[in-house]
C-alpha cells in the first residue's frame, strides 16, 4: 500500500483508499487549525493513561515531549502535512510516531477521533470565544467614550428613517453598547454550556478501559464531563449556539454600519471616516467610501448563512456520530473570525471618526421634531392624549400648508385650540431644552 494512502484504519480492508475519495473526505486543510487544541487534549489524555496504568511513565514522557515539539513546529510553520494525512489527528499521530517511535502507538488507547475532535473543537471555541468577548468590550469602550464626548451633541432620532425626536449622539451610540452587552451575555452562556469534556466517550459507547475523564477535565479546565457518550460525540449545540450568537452580533454590527453609511453620505454628512480608514475609486477621483462599514454589513449575511449550514447539517442525523458532522468547522471558524475581525476594525474606525455636530444640530432643529413635546405638554394640562395628538397634527398640517414651521405657530393660535396653553407651548421650541427634558439621566 502506498504510504500516502495509509490511514489510521487501513488494516481492515487491505486496499488503499481511492485518491479521489481521500481528497473528498480529508479535512486536514480545515482542521489543522485545531492542532494546538489537539496537542493540549492529547497531553492531558496521555497523563491520564499513565495514571491509569495504561501506559508507562517513560512512554508518557516521550509522548509529552514529542507533542511539545510538534506544537513548536506548528507554531513556527515547520510542520509538514503528508499526502496521506486525513485530518489533524492523523498529522499528530504520524508526526509523533516519527518523533518518538513506539510510544506514539499507545496514545490512542481509550479514545476515538469522535470524542477527540469534539474535545478539540470545544477547546478551540473556548479560546476564540474569549477573544471575541474581549473585542466586544473594546468596542463598547469606544462607543461609551465617544458618547461621553457627545452627551450634549443633539441629533435627530429617527423612526422609519424619518426625523422623529431629538436625541444625543451619546444615546444613539449607547444603543449599540446595550446590544453588544446582550451579545456578550449570549456568548458567555454558550461557553458555559460548552464547558463539558467529551473525551472518554470514545466512539459512542465509552471505553472498556479504566479511564478517568474527571482527571482529564481538570487538566483541560473543563467544568464537567459529559453524562452520555452517544450525546457527547454527536453534540454540536455549542457550535450552533456560538455561531448564532456571532450572527446576531454581526446583525448588530450591520445596523451600526448602516447608520454609519447613512451618516457618511453627502445628504446626512453627520460623520466622516478618517482618511486612513476610507477607500477610494479606481475610476472616480473624488470618491471617499466607507467600505469597511459596507463589508461588515455584507459579512453579517455570511454568518447568517453559517447558522443555516450548521442547523441544516445537524437536522435529521440519526445517533450517534455521522460523518456529516465534519462540516461543523467552517461555519464555526467563520462566525468567530468574522465577529472578531469586525469588532476590531469598527473599534479602530469609530475611535478616529469625526462627527459633524453642527450638521447634526441643524438637522435636529427642525421644529416638527418637537410635536410630541407639544402634545405631551397639552396632556400635562389635562387634555386627553388622543385629543392632544389630533390638535397638534392638525396644527402641523395647517402650518405646513402655509409654509410655516411648527415653531412659527403663534401663542394666540395655540390658545385658540387649547385655551391658555399658548405661552407654554411656544416656549417649548428649544432643542437643547427638549434634549434635557429626556436625557437628564441618559445611560
Among all residues, which ones are annotated catalytic? 160, 281
- Determine, following the binding rule CB under 8 A, whether residue 386 of this chain makes contact with a second copy: yes
Which residue from 83, 145, 224, 384 is in contact with a second copy, where contact means CB under 8 A?
Answer: 384
What minimum distance in Å lies between the beta carbon of 210 and a second copy? Answer: 9
* Element spanning 322, H or E: none
Which residue from 73, 212, 258, 430 is in contact with a second copy, where contact means CB under 8 A?
Answer: 258
* DSSP structure string for 105-158: GGTTTT--HHHHHHHHHHHHHHHHHHHHHHHHHHHHHHHHHHHHHTTT-EEEEE
What minimum distance in Å lies between the beta carbon of 215 and a second copy? Answer: 16
Q: Are 60 and 30 in contact (CB under 8 A)?
A: no
Give alpha helix (H) positions in 76-112: 88-100
Using CB under 8 A, which residues numbered 164 to 223 contact a second copy?
Answer: 164-167, 171-172, 174-179, 182, 185-186, 189, 193, 202-209
What minimum distance in Å lies between the beta carbon of 231 and a second copy? Answer: 4
What minimum distance in Å lies between the beta carbon of 158 and a second copy? Answer: 6
Minimum CB distance to a second copy smaller for 237 or for 413: 237
Using CB under 8 A, which residues numbered 2 to 61 contact a second copy?
Answer: 7-18, 20-21, 24-25, 54
The cell numbers describing 392, all together, are: 397638534
Minimum CB distance to a second copy smaller for 37 or for 306: 306
Strand-pair partners of 289: 279
Distance CA 351, CA 273 (A): 10
Going residue by residue from 63 to 102, which x/- string records binding to a second copy, judged by CB under 8 A?
A: --------------------------x---x--------x
The set of long-range contacts for 50-56, using a CB threshold of 8 Å and a minimum separation of 24, is 51/212, 51/215, 52/209, 52/210, 52/211, 52/212, 53/210, 54/106, 54/109, 54/110, 54/209, 54/210, 55/103, 55/106, 55/107, 55/109
What minimum distance in Å lies between the beta carbon of 160 and a second copy? Answer: 4
Report which of 275, 256, 261, 276 is spatially closest to residue 146, judged by C-alpha positions.
Answer: 256
Distance CA 225, CA 214 (A): 6
Q: Mention every residue, 6+ apart, whose C-beta is less than 8 A from residue 41.
A: 116, 119, 120, 123, 199, 216, 220
CB-CB neighbours of 14 under 10 Å:
7
Sign of CA dihedral 206, 211, 214, 218: negative
Which residue from 153, 234, 418, 421 is in contact with a second copy, where contact means CB under 8 A?
Answer: 234
Distance CA 148, CA 169 (A): 9
- Residue tagged 472518554 (cell numbers): 200
Distance CA 83, CA 273 (A): 48
Site residue total, a second copy (CB under 8 A): 184
Using CB under 8 A, which residues numbered 392 to 431 contact a second copy?
Answer: 392-397, 406
Segment contacting a second copy (CB under 8 A): 37-45, 62-70, 380-388, 408-416? 380-388
Report which of 386, 397, 383 is spatially closest to residue 425, judged by C-alpha positions.
Answer: 383
Minimum CB distance to a second copy smaller for 81 or for 317: 317
Which residue from 262, 404, 411, 413 is in contact with a second copy, where contact means CB under 8 A?
Answer: 262
Using CB under 8 A, which residues numbered 269 to 288 contact a second copy?
Answer: 274-288
Q: What are phi and psi of 295, to 5 degrees?
A: -65, -40
Which residue from 74, 222, 244, 414 is in contact with a second copy, where contact means CB under 8 A?
Answer: 244
Distance CA 17, CA 1 (A): 9
Burial, 257: exposed, middle or buried (Cβ in 10 Å; 0-12, 13-18, 19+)? buried
Which residue from 74, 124, 222, 268 is in contact with a second copy, where contact means CB under 8 A?
Answer: 268
- Determine, following the binding rule CB under 8 A, whether residue 109 of this chain makes contact with a second copy: yes
Going residue by residue from 119 to 148, which x/- string records binding to a second copy, judged by CB under 8 A?
A: ------------------------------
What minimum distance in Å lies between the beta carbon of 419 and a second copy? Answer: 18
Minimum CB distance to a second copy smaller for 71 or for 252: 252
Which residue from 31, 37, 120, 373 is in contact with a second copy, where contact means CB under 8 A?
Answer: 373
Which residue from 199, 375, 417, 425 is in contact with a second copy, where contact means CB under 8 A?
Answer: 375
Which residue from 129, 229, 335, 422 is in contact with a second copy, where contact means CB under 8 A?
Answer: 229
Which residue from 135, 339, 369, 426 is in contact with a second copy, where contact means CB under 8 A?
Answer: 369
Using CB under 8 A, which residues numbered 289 to 328 contact a second copy?
Answer: 289-292, 294-295, 297-302, 304-327
Amino acid at each position: 500500500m502506498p504510504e500516502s494512502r495509509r490511514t489510521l484504519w487501513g488494516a481492515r480492508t487491505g486496499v488503499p483508499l481511492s485518491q479521489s475519495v481521500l481528497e473528498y473526505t480529508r479535512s486536514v486543510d480545515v482542521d489543522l487549525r485545531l492542532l494546538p487544541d489537539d496537542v493540549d487534549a492529547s497531553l492531558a489524555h496521555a497523563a491520564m493513561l499513565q495514571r491509569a496504568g495504561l501506559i508507562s511513565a517513560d512512554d508518557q514522557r516521550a509522548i509529552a515531549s514529542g507533542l511539545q515539539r510538534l506544537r513548536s513546529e506548528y507554531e513556527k510553520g515547520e510542520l509538514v502535512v503528508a499526502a496521506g494525512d486525513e485530518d489533524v489527528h492523523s498529522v499528530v499521530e504520524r508526526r509523533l510516531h516519527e518523533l518518538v517511535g513506539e510510544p506514539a502507538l499507545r496514545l490512542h488507547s481509550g479514545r476515538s477521533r469522535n470524542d477527540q475532535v469534539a474535545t478539540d473543537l470545544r477547546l478551540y471555541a473556548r479560546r476564540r470565544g474569549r477573544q471575541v468577548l474581549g473585542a466586544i468590550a473594546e468596542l463598547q469602550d469606544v462607543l461609551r467614550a465617544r458618547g461621553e464626548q457627545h452627551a450634549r451633541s443633539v441629533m435627530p432620532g429617527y423612526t422609519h428613517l424619518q426625523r422623529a425626536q431629538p436625541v444625543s449622539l451619546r444615546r444613539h451610540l449607547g444603543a449599540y453598547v446595550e446590544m453588544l452587552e446582550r451579545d456578550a451575555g449570549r456568548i458567555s452562556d454558550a461557553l458555559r454550556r460548552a464547558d463539558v469534556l467529551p473525551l472518554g466517550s470514545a466512539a459512542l459507547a465509552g471505553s472498556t478501559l479504566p479511564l478517568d475523564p474527571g482527571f482529564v477535565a481538570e487538566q483541560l479546565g473543563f467544568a464537567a464531563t459529559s453524562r452520555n457518550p452517544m450525546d457527547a460525540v454527536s453534540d454540536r449545540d455549542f457550535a450552533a449556539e456560538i455561531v448564532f450568537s456571532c450572527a446576531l452580533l454581526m446583525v448588530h454590527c450591520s445596523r451600526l454600519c448602516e447608520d454609519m453609511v447613512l451618516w457618511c453620505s453627502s445628504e446626512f454628512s453627520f460623520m466622516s471616516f478618517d482618511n486612513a480608514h476610507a477607500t477610494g475609486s479606481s475610476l472616480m477621483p473624488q470618491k471617499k467610501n466607507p467600505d469597511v462599514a459596507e463589508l461588515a454589513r455584507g459579512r453579517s449575511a455570511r454568518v447568517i448563512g453559517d447558522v443555516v449550514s450548521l442547523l441544516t447539517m445537524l437536522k435529521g442525523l440519526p445517533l450517534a456520530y455521522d460523518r456529516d458532522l465534519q462540516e461543523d468547522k467552517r461555519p464555526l471558524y467563520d462566525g468567530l473570525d468574522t465577529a472578531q475581525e469586525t469588532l476590531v476594525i469598527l473599534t479602530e474606525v469609530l475611535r478616529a471618526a469625526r462627527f459633524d455636530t453642527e450638521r447634526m444640530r441643524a438637522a435636529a432643529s427642525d421644529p416638527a421634531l418637537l410635536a410630541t413635546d407639544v402634545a405631551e405638554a397639552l396632556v400635562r394640562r389635562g387634555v386627553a392624549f388622543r385629543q392632544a395628538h389630533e390638535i397638534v397634527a392638525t396644527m402641523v398640517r395647517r402650518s405646513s400648508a402655509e409654509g410655516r414651521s411648527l415653531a412659527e405657530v403663534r401663542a394666540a393660535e395655540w390658545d385658540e385650540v387649547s385655551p391658555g396653553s399658548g405661552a407654554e407651548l411656544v416656549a417649548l421650541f428649544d432643542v437643547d431644552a427638549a434634549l434635557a427634558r429626556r436625557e437628564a439621566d441618559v445611560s
